Structure 1
Amino acid sequence: MTTEASHPLYSPLPVELSERPPAELPPAPALRLAPERLRNATAAGGGAVALLWGVQARPSARLDAFFATGAHLTGLLAGYGVLVLLLLMARVPAVEHGVGADRLARWHALGGRYVLGLIGAHALLALCGYAVHTRTDLVTATGDLLAYGAIAAATVGTGLFVAVGVTSARAVRRRIRHETWRAVHLGALLAAALGFVHQLAGPDLAGGLLTRWLWSMAHGTVAVVLVWYRIVVPVRAALRHDLRVAEVRDEGPGVVSVLVRGRGVALLRAEPGQFFRWRFLRRGLWATALPFSLSAPVRDDTLRITVKAIGDHTRRIRRLRPGTRVLASGPFGAFTAHRRTRRKVLLLAGGVGITPLRALFETLPGGPGDVTLLYRASDATGLVLRAELETIARERQAALHFLLGPSDGAFDPLAPRALRDLVPELAAHDVYLCGPPAMARAATASLIRAGVPASRIHSEDFDHA
């Protein structure tokens, strides 16, 4: 069903029944790690590290021993925290599909602040402990400590971690190129290696051979996981599937769809709502992996993305030629049907955020009236894939409303009352939400005020993953 709503809101019009069922979903990944399980496992690991410290701790009333003991604890926790941060961004499928790329990115950013705090505390406590023990001032103690190779290495590693933290700050990241940000982040791998060398050479792992072996195994495991999922798996997929641009199709002002075809694409097990990181091997695009969601289910060994030109890289995508080789890593994300908990589903899109919701609109199981799509845009020219959406709505006997009007207009079609009028029994729905950040925040607040529990509002900002 389709309507265009600005003010007042219009009622949906009846449509003809279609006997064609929605496209079937491909097989779901075998394993999804739930967010709470990951949190519990991370906390348990931190507890084990604290226990390791407790077994080695020797109570003492001396001030230098107090500082040293605190330095050992913060050092061990910082080392463990670095491993957790690396694992969160290792792109392990079970974690990506269960937790979601945007949530992992938020946890990674929050964890990075804690790790930097632990590293700073470790350095300060170690410095104070050494100064008290040698009865020197902090400046002299600093010079003496830097003479040790392992401590000098740790200092360089700390500087690299600080650089990563600074460039990740929102105000800084908006002002630097994405490639620069990525390059600085690669320094975190070197920083982690330098920190590991420092810990092996220092007293933090002085508990014996078993302690050193366990710590080394933990670091080795994380290194293998990173290499496997960040390098081996994408390269193997590129060789196996031989993805190439098949067609670039205009969809509207500044918007194109790119069809990418390859061999055995179904083996990727991509689900509607997920995204890939795309690297188009042509000048101006090959150096950057761009995250775009699928805008249609996978069919006939073909993947489709729909892209709006909003920057240098996305504008170059319009000039892609058929035959251009494509490296696609993924699929990623948990913005899929597995999040669904209710029979009735509301899909709420804004602008080009329609792309993952268009794929879900076609494939989410449900009978007449079970699936509703609301599409917010400033005017009709901002509606992407409109004809496809209307066809899907007609054939599925689903509700489709275009909510048109300026964002600063007197009437807000996403206000709680307007949403309740458009979507009967709104509070009984699951909601999938994708759109510009400001729109998504406002829509989330309205949905909660309209009675939808926050736990049933599903969104994923893969652009910051």
Structure 2
Amino acid sequence: MTTHLAPPRRATSQGIDRPRLARARRRLRWADLLVMVCWSSVAAAVSLYLASGGLLQVVDVASAVTALGIVVGLIGTNLILVMLVLAARIPLVDRAVGQDVAMAFHRRLGKPALYLLLGHGVLLTTGYALQDGSNVISETVGFFSGSDFVLAYAGLGLLVFVVLSSVVAVRRRFSYEAWHVIHLLSYAAVLVAVPHQLSAGAVLAGGTWQRVYWIGLYVLAFGSVAAFRFAVPLVRSARHGITVAGVEALAPGVVSIHLRGRDLERLQTEGGQYAIWRFWSAKTWWHAHPISFSAVPSAHSARITVRDLGRGSSAISRVLPGTRVSIEGPYGIFTDAARMTNRVAVVAAGIGITPVRSLLEGARLSSGEATVLLRATDASQQYLWDEIQNLPGMQGNTVYSMTGPRPPGVATWLSAEALNRGVTLTSAFPHLSDSDLYVCGPASWTELVVRDARVAGLAETQIHVERFDW
């Protein structure tokens, strides 16, 4: 394995691979269509309310405030259901944008949806109080006399809890397992508010297009969750009968878990993808973890590599041979299929080597097409490095290594020694502009690599990132 980076060279353009570019553009069009459908659903919710005569009921300030509260509530509820669809792991969504992008969009919608629903409650309470000639406090107390409104308040309270737990500063105080359980409350929060939405007033009266639309949206959201988060994984797990074949220690706190099963090639796993794994042992059955494949599965075997990052992953690393395993997936577009150029530049750090190793194994690479830079703080983090050079597709391609801590007080992904030598992303990858860049590692470190790629002028469509955070 080469231990020093190449000196700066002028890039030699190899051009864009047109078939790959065409596939990438089709995927991007699907992504644009999904975004358009999401926002169109919000427009449909408001349009149906207006078309049903919602504005005709506005005759004074009280009715105007009430109508505004209804519109705000419809938009907020629509966004919540869109969030559930994005989190349902629908294969079409995964192939178009990848689960990480879908979940990033899901998270961005969380606060606006919550604010809208809070505004819905405030506006309706104010509007009803104005109509009744009472005050907001009395009107709120009156709401609790109806079971539908009690459920609505309960659902709103659950949503507040879920959104607050998702704020980065708060989320870091939870283990992944605890946060995941809390997040499942979002399903309950939406469900308990359904009776309120369908029975309150005449907004969604029976026989109206509004009622048809909302019932259809609820069926889509919860049907997708039921199908792709529960039914499909159950069937897939039963079909393949995956169990633990053995656990191999790679370094302190890092193990490879070897799996065996039936017809694993039918999973159609691409190198670079991950799955949601649940190990059915006494200490691990109650939580599932997203873990990348560290090797492309064969017909009867697969492998994942895990680093201890909490109590859950620590327990997984101690599972015994024969333990049954459930699988959801595979997921992700950190794959060779996302490429649009003839060249590949790869930067991986720490446990980020896991999807990179399977990506390179599954990629269709010719001699001279790939340049790989493996990054570690010290020798203890060089997981699977010895396997990279020996992959069949890496014959005739270049592998660099960079070991050492980053300089204190400097926002860089480079080691202090490399930075002092004048190494940059473009000197390490002289053909960067003609390459697809794949980056995987700790979130803050990854962002620095992507920053340098953007400064170098690399198109966003040529940057592919797999993050190891949640």
The answer to whether the superposition gives a TM-score over 0.5 is yes
Find the counterpart in structure 1 of residue 233 from structure 2.
234
1:462 to partner: Cα distance: 5.7
1:352 to partner: Cα distance: 1.0
Deviates more, 1:200-209 or 1:328-337: 200-209
Find the counterpart in structure 1 of residue 391 from structure 2.
392
Q: Does 2:366 match 1:367?
A: yes
The letter of the residue matching 1:37 is L
| CA–CA distance in structure 2, aligned partners of residues 416 and 73 of structure 1 | 57
Find the counterpart in structure 2 of residue 293 from structure 1.
292
1:396 to partner: Cα distance: 2.1
Q: Does 2:66 match 1:68?
A: yes
| CA–CA distance in structure 2, aligned partners of residues 412 and 65 of structure 1 | 67
The structure-2 alpha-carbon separation of the partners of 1:267 and 1:413, relative to structure 1 and needing over 3 Å to count, comes to farther
Match of 2:426 among 385, 396, 420: 420
| CA–CA distance in structure 1, aligned partners of residues 42 and 402 of structure 2 | 48
| CA–CA distance in structure 2, aligned partners of residues 141 and 438 of structure 1 | 48
| CA–CA distance in structure 1, aligned partners of residues 312 and 185 of structure 2 | 24
Deviates more, 1:347-356 or 1:32-41: 32-41
The structure-2 alpha-carbon separation of the partners of 1:365 and 1:177, relative to structure 1 and needing over 3 Å to count, comes to closer
Determine if contact 1:275/1:291 at 8 Å carries over to the other structure.
yes
1:393 to partner: Cα distance: 7.1
| CA–CA distance in structure 2, aligned partners of residues 357 and 147 of structure 1 | 58
Q: Does 2:455 match 1:449?
A: yes
Q: Does 2:382 match 1:376?
A: no
Deviates more, 1:448-457 or 1:128-137: 448-457
Match of 1:97 among 95, 98, 111: 95
Count of residue pairs brought into register by the alignment: 443
Identity across the alignment (%):
31
Find the counterpart in structure 1 of residue 115 from structure 2.
117
Determine if contact 1:274/1:336 at 8 Å carries over to the other structure.
yes
Q: Does 2:37 match 1:41?
A: yes
| CA–CA distance in structure 1, aligned partners of residues 254 and 141 of structure 2 | 59
Q: Deviations over 1:26-81 (max 9, x none)?
A: xxxxx998321210111111111111122122243510111111011112112211
- 5+ residue gaps, structure 2: 9-26, 408-414
Find the counterpart in structure 2 of residue 156 from structure 1.
154
- 5+ residue gaps, structure 1: 13-30
The letter of the residue matching 2:462 is R
The letter of the residue matching 2:430 is P
Q: Which has the higher contact order (CA 8 A, sep 6+)?
A: 1
SS of 1:279 mapped into structure 2: strand
| CA–CA distance in structure 2, aligned partners of residues 176 and 425 of structure 1 | 42
Q: Deviations over 1:76-121 (max 9, x none)?
A: 1122112101111111112123211221221111111111011011
The structure-2 alpha-carbon separation of the partners of 1:75 and 1:283, relative to structure 1 and needing over 3 Å to count, comes to same
| CA–CA distance in structure 1, aligned partners of residues 290 and 393 of structure 2 | 31
Determine if contact 2:347/2:440 at 8 Å carries over to the other structure.
yes
Q: Map 1:28-427; keep pairs closer than 5 Å.
A: 34-55=30-51, 56-59=53-56, 60-203=58-201, 204-206=203-205, 208-392=207-391, 396-408=395-407, 410-412=416-418, 418-427=424-433
The structure-2 alpha-carbon separation of the partners of 1:245 and 1:415, relative to structure 1 and needing over 3 Å to count, comes to farther
Find the counterpart in structure 2 of residue 23 from structure 1.
none
Determine if contact 1:426/1:451 at 8 Å carries over to the other structure.
no
| CA–CA distance in structure 2, aligned partners of residues 405 and 72 of structure 1 | 58
The structure-2 alpha-carbon separation of the partners of 1:181 and 1:310, relative to structure 1 and needing over 3 Å to count, comes to closer
What TM-score comes out, normalization by structure 1 length? 0.90
SS of 1:71 mapped into structure 2: helix
| CA–CA distance in structure 2, aligned partners of residues 303 and 50 of structure 1 | 49
The structure-2 alpha-carbon separation of the partners of 1:69 and 1:395, relative to structure 1 and needing over 3 Å to count, comes to closer
Q: Deviations over 1:101-144 (max 9, x none)?
A: 22122111111111101101111110111111011111111112
The structure-2 alpha-carbon separation of the partners of 1:420 and 1:187, relative to structure 1 and needing over 3 Å to count, comes to closer
1:11 to partner: Cα distance: 6.5
| CA–CA distance in structure 1, aligned partners of residues 236 and 439 of structure 2 | 30
RMSD across aligned C-alpha pairs, in angstroms? 2.3
Determine if contact 1:414/1:446 at 8 Å carries over to the other structure.
no
SS of 1:328 mapped into structure 2: strand
